[in-house]
Amino acid sequence: MRMGEDLNMLTKIKKAWMLMVVSVLGLFGLACERSQEQEALIKPDHVPEEQISQDILDAYSDWTETYVKTASGGEETMYYVAYDEQGNTVSEAHGYGMLITAEMAAYTDDTKAYFDGMYHYFKHYPSTNNSAFMAWKQRDQGDGTMINDNGEITGSATDGDMDIAYALLLADEAWGSSGSINYREEAVTIINALMDDVIHEDTHLPLLGDWVRGNDPVYSEATRTSDWMGGHAAVFAEAAEDNRWEDVEKAIVDTTEEVQNEHSPDTGLLPDFLIYEDEQWSPAPPQFLERDSDGDYSYNAARVPWRMAEAYQTTGNNQVREQLKRINEWAETHADGDPASFQAGYTLEGEALAGHTDMVYTAPLAAGASIDESKQEWLNQLWDKMTVDYEDSDRNYYNDSVRLLSMLTVNHKNE
């Protein structure tokens, strides 16, 4: 569809999405819980809404064509999201894939087959620690056959399973659960397993995966900030009828406040990883799990503004909005209003870690700006950076996936 060719169809899409969101909010009981003082959300205002929807459709088309692959070996058709040029995948990518195909049901009618195929893939590769979760990584054997990276011993990564559970709830609302897959039942199974196996019973924050045991001397008191999905937690509390998820939502907000006040008062930035010691949270040391920048605003924490925007849109918690505004204000000021000047990673004090920009940092800032009426021009600039100014050299699975998910957040339709 080209711009202007079928505005009626785009209008129908918008109405369909509005109906779906109203249904979601009604089911989860979130509509009545949203703060009456919640500030208005914004969208880019320098392009027509129809163009925003078209930009999302174009991004989705490119994403599916480039990254969605067919896997062999199952009784059902299986799809997965290739996260590298070798066609390998990880559960993080799979969670993104299921989120995207569920959310895109409001824009196009070709997503259910992809979603169901991704569900079958998820079920085909369970973690050996907890079969409700997906094994972290699979490698392509060159013929469409996928094998677990660590052979018969596998573990999970928390963010993938949280996104998969949330996507299944969205699928239940989009298509219902009376068909061959009971989306809602499957979601609740994962949600309950998450609470039992990867939510710390004392801090109420997510652990890194089901491979972390309570007596682990290194990782049992650690958390990854990009796993902090307050909006998911609020919805999980309703879906599973388990108010412990409210403790998770509160812990995310409270710990964000602590870290911003104690470790990033000037920037509001969060680090990739935090460790709990001496009754307080501190940024992880270099090479804690992945890289030298584990205690900085790096490639994991880059997603935090998007996750916070999602949480605010879902819950209406104005403390989340104020926390996100701290990041917004510093980011726009630091970049002097030019997204191309926002670098790929920072210390919590605001010192750049790189001399180049990266879409996985830019796109979540757009999602973050959408909750702040004072950032209209900044949002417009970020949207252009994600669309008309998106450079081919910046394209990869991670950037393109987070970009599309952030675009969907910016084009919020749950006002």
Tell me which residues are annotated as active site.
159
Rg (C-alpha) for the chain, rounded Å, is 20
3-state DSSP assignment of residue 388: coil
- 98 residue type, one letter: M
**Alpha-carbon gap, residue 70 to 72, rounded angstroms:** 7
Q: What are phi and psi of 276, to 5 degrees?
A: -100, 115
195 vs 132: CA distance, rounded Å = 12
CA distance 8 to 15: 11
The closest of 296, 263, 391, 396 to 339, measured between CA atoms, is 391
User: For residue 274, which phi and psi values (nearest 5 degrees)?
Assistant: -125, 150
Quick count: other Cβ atoms within 10 Å of Cβ 261? 11
Spatial distance between the Cα atoms of 281 and 274, rounded to a whole number of angstroms: 6
Compute the distance between CA of residue 176 and CA of residue 386 in angstroms, rounded to an integer. 33
CA pseudo-torsion sign 139, 143, 144, 147: negative
Inter-helix orientation angle 158-175/183-197, to 10°: 160
Cβ atoms of 297 and 270 within 8 Å: the answer is yes
What does the alpha-carbon distance between residue 188 and residue 239 come to, in Å, rounded to a whole number? 7
Q: Which of 160, 351, 74 is nearest to 168 (CA)?
A: 160
∠ at Cα 160 (30, 319), nearest 5°? 40
Residue 268 CB contacts under 8 Å (≥ 6 apart), including other chains: 260, 323, 324, 326, 327, 329, 330
Among 125, 115, 131, smallest CA distance to 88 is for 125
